[in-house]
Amino acid sequence: MKMRIVMIVAVVLGISALSAEAAKEKKGKTNADVAAPKKPPMDGKKVAAKLREEWDIGDLKMMRVVIDDSQYSPELKTSFANAIDKFSDQQEDLLDKVEADASFEAAARKKRANANAAFQEKMQAAYANPEFKKDMARRMKALDKEIDAIAASAEKLMAALDSVGVSKEQKDRIAPVVKEANKKVKAEVDKSETKSAKDKKSRDKIVASYKEARKKMRQELTPEQREKLTRKLADEA
C-alpha cells in the first residue's frame, strides 16, 4: 500500500513538473509573440518614386523645354537653362541615393530644400518682371496642352497644326514626326500608375519622350506659326 502511494505521488509530481515546464515554455513563446515584430526594410525605389512625385520634377523638365523654345535673350536663356539643369541634376542625384538606401530620405529632403531655395532665388530676378512671369505661365500651359494632345493621338495634334496655317509640304514632313512622338509618349503614359500624361511620378519621362520630336516639329514651323500654336493651346479651356 505504501509503495502504491509513493508511485502515485511520483506520477503526480512528474505531471506537475511537466505542466510547469510547458507553462513556462508557453509563456516564453507568448512574450516573444507579443513583442513588436521587426519592420521590413523600406523599398528605396518606392520611396524615390514618392519623392519624384512630390517634387514634381516633370514640371521642371517642362520649364527647360519652354526655355529652349522661347525667344528670350541669349543671356537670359543661358542663365535659366543652367539653373534648371543644375537643380535637375541635384534632385536626380538625391533620388539615386534614396533608391539605393531608403534611410537617406530625410537627408535628401533637407538637401533638396536647400537646393530649391537657391534655385528659387535665381529665378526671382526674372520673375520680378510681371510680363516675363505671365509669358512663362502661358508657355507652360501651352506645352501641357500639347503633351495632352500628342498623348491622345497624332491626329489631335495635327488638327491643332492645321489651325495655324501649315502648308501641305510642312504637314508631309511633320506627320511622321508626330506619329512617332505619339507612340513614344503613349508608351510612357501606359506605363504610368494613373495612365495619364499628367502622372507626376512619370511626368518627367513623358516630357523627355516628347522633347526631341517637338524640337523637330517646331523646326518645320515659321516663328509666326510657332507663336500661333502656343497662343491657341494656351487659350484652350
> Given pLDDT bands bounded at 50, 70 and 90, which one contains residue 28?
low
**CA–CA separation, 168 vs 155, rounded Å?**
15
* pLDDT over 50 at 48, yes or no: yes
* pLDDT over 60 at 219, yes or no: yes
What is the model's pLDDT at position 124? 86
**How many other CB atoms are there within 10 angstroms of residue 219's CB atom?**
11
* pLDDT over 90 at 140, yes or no: yes
> Given pLDDT bands bounded at 50, 70 and 90, which one contains residue 10?
very low
CB-based burial label for 197 (10 Å; 0-12, 13-18, 19+): buried
Provide the 8-state DSSP code for 153.
-
Q: Which residues, 6+ apart, have CB-to-CB distance to 140 below 8 Å?
A: 59, 62, 63, 66
Which residue type occupies 5? I
Quote the pTM value: 0.76
